[in-house]
């Protein structure tokens, strides 16, 4: 199957609308031939948000506060990416230790809480109850009833991360920390102690979460083929190739695990990544210039990061990483469900890292802002957000106003990969079988593995209104499958 077919005249069009993206809307369309074989599958992002436009003309110090409103789940990542860009703008990329460690601590807390939310609240119900189980129980409430201990630990992990974010930034969501070249506040020793004494328990829960994710994946042999796709993987890595979430250079591994590109600095990303626009989606399609449009699409996010690095610098996560890498290679195609396993390895890494940083004496008491140096009117901030590599790129004029902005969010980088995963699921579950409620959720499960914002909106405790319409070639509805806001499935047929 290709993304588009040359002759669509004799095909039946199926639309899943809405799927919802980052606080917005998306939809999936399928073109089925007379044998119920999917000839085309597309994930359309149909809402335009325009952040890149409306920050033009604003003073640069507003950037970390304004762009974090892109997202309610990972605002910290946008806050920090914009912050890194304006550090570069004012010539203060080398932060004082207290500032850098506080920012890293904040980021670990952010990734931990986001991963806990994604796995426990949004995705684990699919894995624990089955993809085709009743929507009324396939949600966090159902999880609390059937698996209360698991669900409660997930909720508490997320709560821990959010409380740490609140202590550092003043708010659980959309707080404030970054100023150009530093931070506005350091933690107090008493605040550090509150979290330090919880860490053994948090690491234990994270270890159990990893065991759960790995066990659920390995429990069913069919999982290895679910939404299996192969592509290069892109992520930040430290100078020594170590796992890195906050700052590093870009590395790309090819489909067979060999290093394709390495040590690509922030300011050179445009030399290697190009974005293609397609008429049917507001979301661009980035690709690696070296491989071209057709083969150059790539994956980002937990699985890409874990596969790309040489090692993780925390012992429990490193041990788990080796096990996952052995599972992935030498196969050149990986199931999207491996993202959950990788995600929980990162959760454990974040928990271990938070414990390390909280013990660091430089976390408090030092300088908060670096001296400003030579100005760089074109500036970049790249960070690993929970869902993948996040690129912020700005041009600022000599009056301190933003002239241009380019944001490549992780969902955008995964755009083609999500489309490919949907096609893979269609090949496995739809071809020859037709449309059913199970299909609807199988597609969502594949998309959900990449993007918790999309998952959040589509999942919505199993009550997100969703409809699949089957149209005749003439455009008339022949069949509608609807999930109501009450979670009920209704099916209607119309004579042609």
Total interface residues for another protein by CB under 8 A? 26
Q: Which of 4, 53, 56, 57 binds another protein (CB under 8 A)?
A: 57
Q: Least distance to another protein from the beta carbon of 483, Å?
A: 32
Q: According to the binding rule CB under 8 A, does residue 176 interact with another protein?
A: yes
Tokens representing residue 92 in the block: 């203060």
The residues that bridge with 481 in the sheet, in sequence order, are: 468, 491
Q: According to the binding rule CB under 8 A, does residue 62 interact with another protein?
A: yes
Taking residues 185 to 224 in sequence order and writing x for each that binds another protein by CB under 8 A, - otherwise, the string is x---------------------------------------
Q: According to the binding rule CB under 8 A, does residue 65 interact with another protein?
A: yes
Q: Is 72 left (phi over 0), alpha (psi -120 to 50) or beta?
A: alpha
The full DSSP string for 24-48 is S-EEEEEEE-TTS-EEEEEEEE---
Nearer to another protein, 332 or 364 (CB): 364
Q: Which of 399, 432, 495, 496 binds another protein (CB under 8 A)?
A: 399
Quickly count: other Cβ atoms within 10 Å of residue 75's Cβ.
Answer: 24
Q: Least distance to another protein from the beta carbon of 178, Å?
A: 8
Taking residues 343 to 382 in sequence order and writing x for each that binds another protein by CB under 8 A, - otherwise, the string is -------------------------xx-------------
Backbone CA torsion sign across 443, 445, 450, 452: positive
Q: Which of 8, 61, 268, 395 binds another protein (CB under 8 A)?
A: 61
Q: Least distance to another protein from the beta carbon of 397, Å?
A: 8
Cα–Cα distance measured from residue 119 to residue 98, given in angstroms and rounded to the nearest whole number: 31
**Contact (CB, 8 A) for 388 and 413:** yes
Binding window for another protein (CB under 8 A); candidates: 155-163, 175-183, 351-359, 431-439: 175-183
Q: According to the binding rule CB under 8 A, does residue 400 interact with another protein?
A: yes
- Among residue numbers 122 through 151, which ones bind another protein (CB under 8 A)? none
Q: Least distance to another protein from the beta carbon of 361, Å?
A: 22
Q: According to the binding rule CB under 8 A, does residue 66 interact with another protein?
A: yes
Angle between helices 75-89 and 148-169 (to 10 degrees): 30
Binding window for another protein (CB under 8 A); candidates: 94-102, 256-264, 395-403, 486-494: 395-403
Cα–Cα distance measured from residue 260 to residue 264, given in angstroms and rounded to the nearest whole number: 11
Q: According to the binding rule CB under 8 A, does residue 258 interact with another protein?
A: no
Q: According to the binding rule CB under 8 A, does residue 172 interact with another protein?
A: no
Q: Least distance to another protein from the beta carbon of 86, Å?
A: 10
Quickly count: other Cβ atoms within 10 Å of residue 319's Cβ.
Answer: 12
Q: Least distance to another protein from the beta carbon of 109, Å?
A: 16
DSSP state of 121: I
Cα–Cα distance measured from residue 206 to residue 345, given in angstroms and rounded to the nearest whole number: 8
Cα–Cα distance measured from residue 288 to residue 273, given in angstroms and rounded to the nearest whole number: 5
Distances (CA, A) of 320 to 237, 242, 343, 450: 18, 15, 11, 20
Cα–Cα distance measured from residue 409 to residue 142, given in angstroms and rounded to the nearest whole number: 32
State the residues that interact with another protein by CB under 8 A.
57-59, 61-62, 64-66, 69, 169-171, 174-180, 184-185, 368-369, 399-401
């Amino acid at each position: 199957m290709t993304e588009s077919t040359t002759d669509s005249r004799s095909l039946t069009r199926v639309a899943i609308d809405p799927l919802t993206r980052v606080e917005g809307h998306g939809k999936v369309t399928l073109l089925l031939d007379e044998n119920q074989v999917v000839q085309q599958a597309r994930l359309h992002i149909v809402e335009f948000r325009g952040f890149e436009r409306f920050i033009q003309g604003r003073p640069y110090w507003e950037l970390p506060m304004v762009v974090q409103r892109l997202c309610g789940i990972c605002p910290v990542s946008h806050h920090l990416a914009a912050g890194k860009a304006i550090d570069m703008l004012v010539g203060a990329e080398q932060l004082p230790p207290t500032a850098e460690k506080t920012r890293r601590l904040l980021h670990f807390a952010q990734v931990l809480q986001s991963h806990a939310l994604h796995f426990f609240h949004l995705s684990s119900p699919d894995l624990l109850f089955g993809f085709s189980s009743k929507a009324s129980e396939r949600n966090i409430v159902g999880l609390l009833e059937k698996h209360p201990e698991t669900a409660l630990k997930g909720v508490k992990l997320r709560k821990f991360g959010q409380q740490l974010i609140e202590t550092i930034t003043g708010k659980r969501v959309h707080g404030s920390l970054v100023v150009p070249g530093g931070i506005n506040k350091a933690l107090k020793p008493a605040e550090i102690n509150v979290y330090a004494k919880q860490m053994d328990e948090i690491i234990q829960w994270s270890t159990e979460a990893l065991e759960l994710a790995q066990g659920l994946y390995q429990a069913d042999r069919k999982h290895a083929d679910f939404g299996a796709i192969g592509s290069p993987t892109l992520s930040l890595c430290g100078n020594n190739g170590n796992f890195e979430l906050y700052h590093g250079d870009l590395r790309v591994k090819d489909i067979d695990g060999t290093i394709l590109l390495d040590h690509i600095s922030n300011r050179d990303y445009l030399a290697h990544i190009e974005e293609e626009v397609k008429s049917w989606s507001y979301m661009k399609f980035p690709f690696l210039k070296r491989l071209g449009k057709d083969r150059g699409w790539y994956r980002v996010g937990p699985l890409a990061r874990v596969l790309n690095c040489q090692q993780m610098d925390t012992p429990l996560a490193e041990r788990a990483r080796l096990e996952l890498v052995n599972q992935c290679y030498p196969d050149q195609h990986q199931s999207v469900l491996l993202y959950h396993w990788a995600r929980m390895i990162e959760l454990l890494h974040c928990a271990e890292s938070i414990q390390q940083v909280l013990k660091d004496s430089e976390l408090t008491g030092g300088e908060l802002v670096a001296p400003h140096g030579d100005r760089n009117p074109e500036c970049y901030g790249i960070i690993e957000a929970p869902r993948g590599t996040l690129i912020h790129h700005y041009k600022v004029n000599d009056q301190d106003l933003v002239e241009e902005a380019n944001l490549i969010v992780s969902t955008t980088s995964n755009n083609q990969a999500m489309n490919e995963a949907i096609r893979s699921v269609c090949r496995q579950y739809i071809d020859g079988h037709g449309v059913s409620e199970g299909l609807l959720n199988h597609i969502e499960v594949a998309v959900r593995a990449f993007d918790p914002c999309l998952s959040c909106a589509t999942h919505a405790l199993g009550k997100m209104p969703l409809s699949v319409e089957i149209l005749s070639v003439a455009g008339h509805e022949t069949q509608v499958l609807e999930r109501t806001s009450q979670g009920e499935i209704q099916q209607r047929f119309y004579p042609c």
